[in-house]
Structures are given as C-alpha cells and as structure tokens.
C-alpha cells in the first residue's frame, strides 16, 4: 500500500510541473504582444515609467510570503474558473473595443484565477496583495487621464497663483497660464500631478505591506496619498512661479526637471511620516 502511495506521488510530481509549464506557456503566448506593448509604454512614456518597478516589487513581495503561502494546503478549486472566465471576457471586450486598458488589466485576474484554480482559495488569498500591486502597473485609460488632468491643471494653477500673490509676486492667471512680469508659465498635463499621484499610491500600498498595518490603516494611507500628491504638485508650481519671477531660467530645462524629482521625494517623505503616525495608532495585523 505504501509503495502504491509513493508511486502515485512520484507520478503526480512531474505531471504537476508539466501541467504548470504548459499553462504558463499558453498564458504567455496569449498575452505576449499585450505585455510587450505595455513594457514599451513604460520605457518610452515618462508618466508610465513607474510601471517598470511594479512587477519586481510584486515578485519580491510574493517571495517574502512564500513560506506563508506554501504552508497552506493546496486545494484545487473549480471556483477559480469563474475568475479566469471573467479575465477572458475582459480580454475579449478590450480586443473588440480596441481598448488597451482592458486587455492589459485582464492579465492580473487571469493570474489570480490560475492560482485559485490550481492552488485553492487559501493560497490565492495569501497572494492577494501582490496581485493588487500588479493592478497598478497598468496606466489608467486615456479617457480617465484626460478627464482628471484638466481639472488638476486648473486647480494647481489657481492655488499657485494665489499663493504667489500672497508672498508679493506680481502675477496674473488666465486659465492654466500664469503670467509673470518677465515670463509666462503654462501648467501642462505633465504638471497636473497625475504622475506623482500614481507613484505615491503605489508607495502607499508598499508602506502598508511593510508596516503590516491593519486594513483600515492601509486604506487610510492610500486615501491620504491622493490629496498629498496634489498638495506637493501645487507646491512645485508655486515654487516655480516664485523663482521664475526672479530668474526665468528656473522655470525651464534642468531646474524644472530637478524640481519634479525633488517634490516627489518630499511627497514620499511626507507620506512615510503620515503612514508612521497612522500605523502607530491604527494597529497592525496579527
């Protein structure tokens, strides 16, 4: 009897690996063009460049949780097929509508469905955070980006003009154009704050995981990252306007690019400080 059990396990082991390799190959073939196009956008579009860091971070988080995940019993479940079917439906809809966001985002529920189907719900739940993190690697739809960019441009330019006037700068605002005595500044889409917003949301998710915070504390940090990103972007526009009133070259070239990085670092530092306070009083997961 024991020999039969050992023989069954020895056969099941290679079959499991072969099945996994076949499924991974088929999934790779299905999504190869989509993932290559997504990677090309990460590499060529500055607003999407943060996506290059998401897959390595997600893999690292999954690696950190490997002992917890593998300690759970593998219980294949046909319920995972529903998530796979949903992913296929989203993929087909995206293909028919020529909507890149839908085709790209369907890759994540496809991975989740495969984990649920072949490893069971317990292991799927253990890997929920890496999968959620992978969702952020897909840039938002163009229609959503454009709809959010214009109001944020106007908001940043209006508050920046008011703050600059408050400190004594002679300034006039016309829409998203800020007119100074010696030059004019246009608050473009790149200065709307959406770039730093996406990056800070990802950072808030990672901070919540590293701090092992409670669910409500994690949600609070993610929510607060939104106004924080808008605030640091307004600070950047205000500082650029004030400096440009003295030397117009501060609004162009290297100085402008450097201010973007400096403000993002400031935003991350403030987010880290806020998260420390929230997780200190908000408790941690057991």
Q: pLDDT tens across 56-91, in order?
A: 999 999 998 889 998 998 888 889 999 999 999 999
Residue 170 in any domain: the answer is: yes
- Is residue 175 domain-shared with residue 74, that is, in the same domain? no
Clarify whether residues 45 and 170 are in a common domain.
no
Residues 69, 186 share a domain: no
Containing domain of residue 230, as a range?
A: 143-282
Same domain, 170 and 244: yes
- Provide the pLDDT for residue 122: 92
Residue 190 falls inside a structural domain: yes
Question: Looking at the structure, do residues 159 and 114 belong to the same domain, yes or no?
Answer: no
160/223 same-domain check: yes
Question: Which one is predicted more confidently, 162 or 179?
Answer: 162
Say if residue 156 is in the same domain as residue 271. Answer: yes
Q: Looking at the structure, do residues 150 and 261 belong to the same domain, yes or no? A: yes
* 135 is a domain residue: no
Domain tally, the chain:
2
> Do both 166 and 253 map to the same domain?
yes
The stretch 123-134 carries a mean pLDDT of: 92
Domain presence at residue 122: yes
CA distance 225 to 270: 9
Among 102, 127, 152, the domain boundary falls at: 127
Encode the chain in three state secondary structure.
CHHHHHHHHHHHHHHHHHHHHHHHHHHHHHHHHHHHHHHHHHHHCHHHHHHHHHHHHHHHHHHHCHHHHHHCCCCCCCCHHHHHHHHHHHHHHHHHHCCHHHHHHCHHHHHHHHHHHHHCHHHHHHCHHHHHHHHCCCCCCHHHHHHHHHHHHHHHHHHHHHHHHHCCCCCEEECCEEECCCCEEECCHHHCCHHHHHHHHHHHHHHHHHCCECHHHHHHHHHHHHHHHHHHHHHHHHHHHHHHHHCHHHHCHHHHHHHHHHHHHHHHHHHHHHHHHHHHHHCECC
| Confidence (pLDDT) at 110 | 94
Top pLDDT among 149 and 137 is at 137
Same domain as 178, residue 84: no
Confirm whether 256 is domain-assigned.
yes
String of b and e for 15-26 (b: at least 16 CB within 10 Å)? eeeeeeeeeeee
For residue 38, tell me if it sits in a domain: yes
Residue 113 resides in a domain: yes
Shared domain for 111 and 189, answered yes or no, is no
pLDDT computed for residue 145 by the predictor: 76
CA distances from 65 to 26, 70, 192, 204 (A): 26, 9, 37, 19
pLDDT for 233 beyond 80 = yes
- Same domain (yes/no): 277, 157: yes
**The predicted structure's pLDDT at residue 285:** 61
The answer to whether position 134 is within a domain reads no
């Amino acid at each position: 009897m024991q020999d039969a059990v050992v023989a069954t396990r020895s056969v099941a082991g290679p079959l499991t690996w072969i099945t996994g390799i076949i499924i991974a190959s088929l999934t790779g073939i299905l999504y190869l063009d989509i993932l290559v196009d997504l990677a090309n956008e990460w590499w060529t579009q500055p607003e999407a460049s943060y996506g290059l860091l998401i897959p390595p971070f997600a893999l690292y988080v999954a690696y950190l949780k490997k002992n917890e995940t593998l300690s759970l019993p593998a219980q294949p479940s046909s319920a995972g097929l529903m998530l796979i079917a949903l992913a296929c439906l989203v993929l087909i809809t995206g293909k028919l509508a020529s909507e890149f966001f839908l085709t790209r985002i369907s890759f994540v529920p496809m991975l989740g469905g495969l984990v649920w189907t072949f490893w069971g719900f317990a292991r799927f739940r253990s890997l929920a955070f890496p999968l959620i993190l992978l969702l952020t690697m897909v840039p938002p739809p163009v229609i959503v980006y454009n709809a959010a960019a214009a109001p944020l441009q106007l908001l940043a330019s209006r508050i920046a003009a008011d703050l600059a006037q408050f400190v004594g700068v002679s300034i006039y605002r016309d829409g998203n154009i800020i007119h100074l005595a010696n030059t004019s500044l246009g608050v473009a889409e790149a200065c709307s704050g959406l770039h730093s917003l996406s990056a800070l949301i990802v950072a808030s998710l990672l901070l919540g995981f590293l701090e092992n915070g409670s669910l409500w504390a994690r949600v609070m940090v993610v929510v607060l990252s939104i106004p924080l990103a808008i605030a640091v972007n307004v600070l950047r526009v205000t500082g650029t306007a004030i400096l440009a009133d003295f030397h117009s070259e501060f609004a162009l070239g290297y100085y402008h690019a450097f201010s973007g990085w400096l403000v993002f670092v400031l935003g991350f530092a403030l987010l880290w400080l806020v998260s420390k306070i929230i997780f200190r009083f908000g408790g941690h997961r057991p």
